Amino acid sequence: MGNLVCPSFFDLGEHIRVVLISIPEGHDKPLKYPKALRTSSVLMISKSDLVPHFNFDIEKAKKDALSINPSLKIFVTSATTGEGMDEWLQFLRSLLSNRTCC
């Protein structure tokens, strides 16, 4: 919800917090917004099909993110190619099957 700064300071009542960064934004985002990662359970790196066109180091982004929050689950996805979508959907299904409320 929103940008990478404001929501990380507030409990919005969500069951899980996901930070989304895309390849065109650059691999510096984990270090630029550490609070967002500290308060999240998942990092999704989207638009992985664009890696050949941008200076984005996926492994560096993952390493930096895990240095901030070692318990992050990280998904690298592309809606265009389908990369990582099965794993993402499986993760979401597991959350639904394990939910204890509502």
Query: At residue 88, does pLDDT exceed 60?
Result: yes
pLDDT average, residue stretch 50-67: 97
Contact 41, 16 (CB under 8 A): yes
pLDDT top residue among 5 and 81? 81
Structure tokens at 76: 């690298």
Domain ranges (residues) in the chain: 6-98
Q: What percent of the chain has pLDDT over 90?
A: 74
Options 3.30.565.10, 3.40.390.10, 3.30.9.10, 3.40.50.300; which CATH number does 6-98 get?
3.40.50.300
Model-level pTM?
0.83
Q: What percent of the chain has pLDDT over 70?
A: 81
